[in-house]
Chains A and B, each alone.
Chain A
Amino acid sequence: MPDIDLELRRITKRYGSFLAVDNLSLDIARGTFTCLLGPSGCGKTTTLRCIAGLEQIDSGDILIGGRSIADAPPWQRDIAMMFQDFALFPHMTVARQVGFGLEMLKQPRAEVARRVAAMLKTFEIDHLAGRKPATLSGGQRQRAALARALITEPRILLLDEPIGSLDFSLREMVMFELKAVQRRLGISFVWVTHDQTEAFSLGDLVVVMNRARIEQVGSPADILERPRSAFVAGFIQGNNVFRGTVTAAQDGMVRIATGVGEFLVPVLNGSTPPTGGAVSFSVRAERITDQPGAEHANRLSVRCGAVEFFGAVRRYFMHQADSQILKVDQFGAQAARLREGDQATIGWRAADGVLHHGDGGSP
């Protein structure tokens, strides 16, 4: 399989009795921008550190370019890593820093100098060659760290929340710079983040993790439109998650009884859940309308709570009698301009519900 950069085969990592990575498998095709997304403590950083060799896996195997490296030390793996605070060496100039990896590979001095100069030019930091990290701005540090990591031309670049320590205003620019670098070099990036905006705007492949396991792997569109589990739906912004029991199944649809009413939800891939079984489904906030028409089969009467504005979108927080909160997004022109305390009827098309099939019995 020459086109697979990284394969994780059922890797497990324990700290004492705590299971940090649980039987995790993942294939990453050559040149993929992968984002490991999940809440803190979900095992995403540990997974990254296992790939780097900074942690030893307890069982399973890791293959880079088809070769098992589970027993190889970090300095012999074909990877590079970028740390959250960049981990620049405070006592070395930028040029020294960037050339470090090549020096370690015992490259001749002239060769190191030539490639460092080229690298600094690429990242437009050649004027900083003689400076030490303490005198650099956040953006400059990030570029120096990237140049340092990429100079050994690794097959995979591992990034641990690489823009987390940057000013908010810098983040977007840096994000797209990194994406452009990845596209140009064609190497695989494995990017760990807890920020879904980052994951969805950068990743070719998004891996949602929870409690040491993978919840869902897919393209950003997959994960946004077809969350596999209640966890993924709840973790991704803008989803309304419903839990209930199946009361009937007909024509590729199931009827689900929830605490706030009965709703029709389509069965996606043919495997109809049994009647009486516990299920969950979700509906995106922008698919719910406050002026339901005939096509909006699922309806619900609610009281309007707080209203928030996201640019052109206004988001209502709707309350039901038992105080379940629903998010409803409306675009400016079509919005009914509800105010806090107003009663309203909302609804959505049956086809807009997404039945979860990956809960695996867990709540």
Chain B
Amino acid sequence: MSTISRRSPASYLLAAPAALWMTGAVVVPTLLIAWVSLWGGRAFSPDSPLTIANYARFFGNQTYLKLILDTVQQSLLLMAISGVLGYAIAYFLVVMVKRPMVRLAIFFALVIPFWTSAIIRSIAWIPFLGVNGVINRTLMFLGLTSAPIDAFLYSRTGITMAQVSLYTLLMTGPVVYTLSNIPVQLREAATCLKAPPLAVFRRITLPLTLPGIVIGQVLIFLNVMSDFATVAAIGGNKLALLGNLVLNFYEAGNIRYASVVAVLLMVCMLAGVAIALKVVDVRRLGE
């Protein structure tokens, strides 16, 4: 017994606003993008004839194709760097830090920046990356380089550096969660069954954190795929990924092309999620 009874009319009524809101503002609009991407003609009109010409023209352009590849590549790079880094941090936090207060402090220090503006955090990298930036000055001060390196600002390196600081948390979070659900005794039992530390990690810890790893990787993938702000802030106008392309086409008034890119972005993302779900069968996670 509770303040709401099972399958009561009230439960449907209470669910309705949220359901309608999400359908109206998320599901329908994204479906409409797909529709608009098939519009022929030039006018913004629902009566436009449907065609795949927009796609044909898009795929006919080498530059755009390379952009898709670049975006996917950048996502994979971040998945690798932030994946390893995020996992290592989570492992340290859960398995190696014994004092709860220290663990909590580190966890907060990790999580709090997530709650501040991503734009500001991207901009905050500018003083570091420029020719006269902090990194170059430090390198020169340490004598590691004689002349400033012009490889950070307006470059993939700089973008990657900023993205690592933005997105590593997305890996750490889910892994911390799955890792802290593994009883310590499982690792100890394996140790007593003649397994050295590396074998304990490979045979026990890693398989049991797989769900967290996959969730973390999916989150990083989705965020980097659709990231345009970091790319714009640090890459200037010299570099663009798919997200920036949507924006650029939209601002140029080419809503059909913007839709085409948006659809491709969605397809890539759905494919990524589908592959992830293949790796870890969600229904078997409970076992």
A87 at the interface (CB under 8 A from B): yes
Query: Which one, B186, B192, B207, B287, contacts A75 given CB within 8 A?
Result: B192
Are A75's CB and B203's CB within 8 A?
Answer: no
1/0 contact trace for A86-114 toward B, CB 8 Å? Answer: 01011100000000110011000000000
Q: Does A221 contact B (CB under 8 A)?
A: no
- Taking the closest CB of chain A, its distance from the CB of B182, in whole angstroms, is 9
> In the complex where A85-B185, A100-B203 touch, is A80 in contact with B193 (Cβ < 8 A)?
yes
Segment from B194-202, B224-232, B258-266, B269-277 that makes contact with A? B194-202
In the complex, chain A residues whose CB is within 8 Å of the CB of B189? 81, 83, 87, 89
Within the assembled complex, what's the spacing in Å between the Cα atoms of A191 and B272? 51
Q: Which of A52, A53, A100 makes the CB contact (< 8 A) with B190? A: A100
Q: From B195, B203, B208, B287, give the contact of A132 (CB < 8 A).
A: B287
Contact for B194 among A54, A75, A89, CB less than 8 A: A75
Q: Which of B37-77 contact A (CB under 8 A)?
A: none
Q: Are A74 and B287 in contact (CB under 8 A)?
A: no
| B196: nearest chain-A partner, CB-CB | A75
Question: What chain A residues lie within 8 Å of B199 (beta carbons)?
Answer: 104
* Residues in chain B near residue A73, CB distance under 8 A: 191, 196
B188 at interface, CB cutoff 8 A: yes
CB distance from B80 to the nearest CB of A (A): 25
Find out whether the CB atom of B186 lies under 8 angstroms from the CB atom of A87. Answer: yes
A75 touches B195 (CB 8 A): yes
Given A90-B287, A91-B207, A100-B203: A75 and B185 interface contact (C-beta under 8 Å): no
Size of interface on B: residues with Cβ below 8 Å to A: 19
B200 — nearest CB in chain A belongs to which residue?
A: A75
CB distance from B106 to the nearest CB of A (A): 21
CA separation between A91 and B186, bound complex, in Å?
A: 11
Judge whether A91 and B195 touch: CB under 8 Å: no
The answer to the question of A152 belonging to the interface, with a C-beta cut-off of 8 Å to chain B, is yes
In the complex, are the beta carbons of A148 and B287 less than 8 A apart? no
Cα of A80 to Cα of B196 in the assembled complex, Å: 14
Per a CB cutoff under 8 Å, which of A52, A80, A85 touches B183? Answer: A85
Q: A239 to chain B: closest CB distance in Å? A: 35
A134 at the interface (CB under 8 A from B): yes
Task: State whether B193 touches A100 (Cβ < 8 A).
Answer: yes
Closest CB-CB distance, A37 to chain B, in whole Å?
22
Q: Which residues of B contact A132 (CB under 8 A)?
A: 287
Known: A100-B203, A104-B199, A134-B287. Contact between A87 and B194, CB under 8 A? no
The contact string, 1 if C-beta is below 8 Å from chain B, for chain A 189-217, is 00000000000000000000000000000
Say how far B213's CB is from chain A's closest CB, in angstroms: 14
Q: How far is the CB of B36 from chain A (nearest CB, A)?
A: 46
Across the interface, name the chain A residue whose C-beta is closest to B204. Answer: A89
Residues of B within 8 A of A81 (CB): 188-189, 192
Please determine whether A148 and B188 come into contact, CB atoms closer than 8 angstroms: no
Q: Which residue of B lies closest to A99 (CB)?
A: B193
CA distance A278 to B190 in the complex (A): 51
Q: By CB atoms of chain A within 10 A, which of B189, B193, B196 has the most?
A: B193
* Residue in B185, B196, B207, B287 whose CB lies within 8 Å of A83: B185
A79 interface residue (CB < 8 Å to B): yes
Task: List A contacts of B186 (CB < 8 A).
Answer: 87, 89-90
Chain A contacts with B in 133-166, Cβ cutoff 8 A: 134, 148-149, 152, 158
Q: Give the complex CA separation of A76 and B192 in angstroms.
A: 8
Contact (Cβ within 8 A) B183 A74: no
User: Are B185 and A148 touching (Cβ within 8 A)?
Assistant: no
Shortest 9 CB-CB distances between A and B: which pairs?
A87-B185, A87-B189, A104-B194, A101-B193, A81-B192, A74-B191, A104-B195, A75-B194, A83-B185
Given contact pairs A74-B192, A85-B183, a sample of 6 additional A-B residue pairs in the complex whose CB atoms are under 8 Å apart: A74-B188, A75-B195, A81-B189, A105-B194, A132-B287, A158-B192
List 5 A–B pairs whose Cβ atoms lie within 8 Å, in order of A's numbering. A74-B188, A75-B193, A90-B287, A104-B195, A105-B194
Which residues of A come within 8 Å of B, CB atoms? 52-54, 73-76, 79-81, 83-85, 87, 89-91, 100-101, 104-105, 132, 134, 148-149, 152, 158
